Structure 1
C-alpha cells in the first residue's frame, strides 16, 4: 500500500477524529499568528511610550538650557549660543540624561534648530529633513527610528530631531516569534502524533473486526462446504465403483480423469475446513522428497523436467501437512509451466529455520500476486483457489511464512519455518 493510500485509509477510518485534528492544527496556526501580532503591538506600544517620554525630557531640558543661557549672558536667545563652552557642557549632560543605562531605547543622533539654524547637534547626519518647517515626521530605517517635532518654550519655537536605536525591540519581537513558533511546532507535532496513533488504533480495530468477521464467514462456509463435499465425494466414489462394476475400462481417461479431478477438488474443500494441529516430528529429507517425486510423476503429463535437491538429512515438522503444502505448490507450479518446462524443489536450512523452495520457469507473477494466498482467489479457469491458501495455513501453523520470490524467468515459492520436536 502506497503512502497516499495509507493516509486515505487513516482519514477514512475516523472522519470525526480527522476533523478535530484539522481543527486543532488550524487553532495552533491561528494562535501562533495572534500571539506574534499581539506581542508585536505590545512592543511597539512600549516603544512609543519610551520615545514619547524621551522627547518630553529632551524638550524640557532644552527649554531649561535656553533660560539658563539667557540668564548668564543677559541677552535674548540666538542660535550662536550653541558655540559657547557652556552649551558644549550642557549638550554632554543632555546626552547622558537621554541615554540612561536603564533605558532600552538609545539616542544615536540629536539636533536642536532655531529658524533652520543649528543650536545643539550631536552625531547629527540627517540631511533630508526640513528643520525650518519642522513638520512632525517619523522615519524608520532598519533598526533606526528618526523623529522630528517642534519644541515650544515660553518665548521660542525650536525644532528637535532625535534618532533612536530600536534594535533591542526588534530582537525581542523576533525572539518571541521564534519561541512562539517552536512552541506551536511542538504542539503541532503532538497533535499529529496523537492523531496518527489514534487513527492507527482505529484502523487496527476495524481491521481486527473485519478479520474476525472474515474468519467467521470462512468457518461457516467451511462447515457448509465440508458437509456438501462429504456427500458429493461419497456419491462420486459410488459412481466410480459402479463404472468399474459395469466393465467400463479405466483406459477411458477422460471420464476417469474428470472424476479424479472432482475428487481432488473435494479433498481441497475438506482440507480447507479442517483445523491444522501440528504434530512435529523428525523425518528423513530423502524420503520426504521421494514422496514428492512419486506424486509429481503421477501428475506430469507435459514432459516437465523435475529436479529435487536437499542440503539437509533430516526435516522437522508435521510430515502430513508439509506434504500437503508441497503437493499444492507442485500442482501450482505444474499448471504454470509449459510443455518441457522446469520445476525444481530444494530443501535447506538457514539458521534455525527450514526452507522449502519450489521454482518453476513458467508464467511470471500476475499483478494480483498479493492476493494469491487468499481463499477462493484464483487466476485459473478451474479450481477453487484453495491450494495456496492451504500452504499459507500450514506455514502459519508451523510459526513460519510463505512468500513469492520473482525470478528473471519464472518464480520461486518459499516456505520457511522453525521446529522443535516434542520429546
Structure 2
C-alpha cells in the first residue's frame, strides 16, 4: 500500500508538467487569436478612415481619387484601392497588388471601394507565434520525457533493491535453517566416523576404511557448506589435469552405464595445473553429475562429453551434455529445479573456480548444454 501511495505521489510531477503544457498551449492559441483579432480591428479602422476621407472630400467638392492616392502613399497597411463609379473601375494611383492581399469592400455612395490590405506582417507574426509555440512544446515534451524516464529508472532501481532486500532476507533465513541442520549433521558424522574407526580396528574388512574415507569427504563438504558466505581457502598443488579428469570420470562410469549414458573423454597432451585438487574435484563432480542427470530423461542420444585444452595462459575444460537446456538463475544459491535439491552445487562450484582466478560459464550451442571452466595455468 505504501509503495502504491509513493508511486502516486511521484507521478504528480508528470501531471503538473502535462497541466503546464496544456496551459502553455492555451496561452499561445489565445495569443494567436488576439493578434488576428487586433489585425482585423486595424483593418476595420483603416477602412473607416478611408470612408470618412472619401465622404469629406466629396462634400468639399474635391477629387476623391487624388485624396485616396495621397492617403495610400502614407499608409503602411493599405496597399491598393479600386473605386467603382457608374460601372467603371478606377485603380487609385500608387496601388500595388503584387503581394498576397486581403480584400475589403466598403460603400460610400455613389462610390463602391475595394481596399487591399497587406497581410505579410500578420503572417510573419503568426509564423513567429507558431515557431515559439513549437519550440516551447518541444521543450515541454522533452521535460515530460525526462521526468517519465527518471521515474521509470527510479521505480526500476527501487524494484531491484526491494527484490535484492527480499532475496537477502530469504537467504539469511535459509542460511540460519541450514546452519542448524549442518550442526546436527556434523555431530552425527563425528559419531559415525568414530564408529567406522572402531569397526576398522575390530575388522579387517576393506569397507570400514571406505566408510571412513567417505565420511571424511562428507565432513569436508559439510564444513564448506557451513562456510558458504566465507572466503574459500585453497591448498594448491601441481596436478595432472589428464589424470584428474580420468579419475573423476571413472567415479561415474557405473552410474553412466546403468543409465545408458555415453561418456566421451577428449584430452590431448597432459597439462599440469596449479589447483586445490580436493576442491576442484567438487567442481568436476557437480558438473558431471548435473550433465548425466540432464540427459537421463531423454529417450535416446544420452551423451556427456568432457574435453580439455590449453589456450595461451589459460586451461579450458568443457563438460557438455546433449540435453540442450539451461534453467534460469543458474548460479544463485538455494535456487534449484531438482526435487530435494538445495541449489548449492553450481553456486559453490562457481565460487571455487573463481577462487582459483578463473571463470565458470554456461551456455547452449548447437543443441548442447556447455559448462566451461577457464582457469589460469599458474
TM-score with structure 1 setting the length:
0.67
Hey, what's the Cα distance between the residues in 2 that align with 1:277 and 1:415? 18
CA distance 1:269–1:19, change in 2 (3 Å): farther
2:241 corresponds to 1:288: yes
CA contact (8 A) 2:336 2:342 kept: yes
Superposed counterparts of 1:128-147, under 5 Å: 145-147=102-104
CA contact (8 A) 1:14 1:202 kept: no
SS in 2 for 1:371: coil
> What is the aligned length?
359
Equivalent of 2:74, from 97, 100, 105? 97
How far is 1:418 from its partner?
A: 6.0
Deviates more, 1:340-349 or 1:181-190: 340-349
Deviates more, 1:377-386 or 1:224-233: 377-386
CA distance 1:313–1:59, change in 2 (3 Å): farther
How far is 1:171 from its partner?
A: 1.3
2:325 corresponds to 1:365: yes
Hey, what's the Cα distance between the residues in 1 that align with 2:10 and 2:124? 43
SS in 1 for 2:370: strand
CA distance 1:60–1:408, change in 2 (3 Å): same
Partner of 1:229: 185
CA distance 1:246–1:218, change in 2 (3 Å): same
Equivalent of 2:292, from 334, 351, 375? 334
CA contact (8 A) 1:115 1:158 kept: no
CA contact (8 A) 1:354 1:417 kept: yes
Equivalent of 1:196, from 152, 156, 162? 152
Partner of 2:35: 43
CA distance 1:124–1:405, change in 2 (3 Å): closer
CA contact (8 A) 1:354 1:416 kept: yes
Superposed counterparts of 1:207-226, under 5 Å: 207-226=163-182
How far is 1:225 from its partner?
A: 2.9
Superposed counterparts of 1:5-404, under 5 Å: 15-16=7-8, 18-67=10-59, 70-71=61-62, 87=65, 90-98=67-75, 100=76, 106-107=77-78, 109-113=80-84, 118=89, 122=95, 145-150=102-107, 159-165=113-119, 166-234=122-190, 236-237=192-193, 270-274=223-227, 275-279=230-234, 281=236, 283-284=238-239, 287-301=240-254, 302-303=256-257, 304-309=262-267, 313-315=271-273, 318-338=276-296, 341-348=302-309, 354-361=315-322, 363-365=323-325, 369-381=327-339, 383-397=341-355, 401-404=359-362
How far is 1:407 from its partner?
A: 2.8
CA distance 1:52–1:335, change in 2 (3 Å): same
CA distance 1:94–1:358, change in 2 (3 Å): same
CA contact (8 A) 1:311 1:349 kept: no
For 1:113-144, what per-residue CA distance to the aligned partner results, in whole angstroms no more than 9, with x for missing partners? Answer: 4688645565689xxxxxxxxxxxxxxxxx76
SS in 2 for 1:191: helix
CA distance 1:34–1:378, change in 2 (3 Å): same
CA distance 1:58–1:407, change in 2 (3 Å): same
For 1:23-78, what per-residue CA distance to the aligned partner results, in whole angstroms no more than 9, with x for missing partners? Answer: 2442343244224323323422432343244334433443454356x247xxxxxx
Hey, what's the Cα distance between the residues in 2 that align with 1:34 and 1:149? 35
SS in 2 for 1:404: strand
SS in 2 for 1:370: coil
Hey, what's the Cα distance between the residues in 2 that align with 1:149 and 1:244? 129
Hey, what's the Cα distance between the residues in 2 that align with 1:65 and 1:316? 117
Partner of 1:75: none
Of structures 1 and 2, the one with the larger relative CO (CA 8 A, separation 6+) is 1
Hey, what's the Cα distance between the residues in 2 that align with 1:317 and 1:294? 16
For 1:248-299, what per-residue CA distance to the aligned partner results, in whole angstroms no more than 9, with x for missing partners? Answer: x999xxxx99x99999888655433323325485734xx1342232122122
For 1:133-180, what per-residue CA distance to the aligned partner results, in whole angstroms no more than 9, with x for missing partners? Answer: xxxxxxxxxx764433455xxx87855544442422331232122212
Hey, what's the Cα distance between the residues in 2 that align with 1:326 and 1:405? 17
Hey, what's the Cα distance between the residues in 2 that align with 1:119 and 1:340? 104
How far is 1:331 from its partner?
A: 1.2
How far is 1:412 from its partner?
A: 0.4
Partner of 1:405: 363
CA contact (8 A) 2:50 2:68 kept: no
How far is 1:328 from its partner?
A: 0.8
CA distance 1:91–1:200, change in 2 (3 Å): same
Partner of 1:414: 372
CA distance 1:243–1:16, change in 2 (3 Å): farther
CA RMSD of aligned residues (A): 4.4
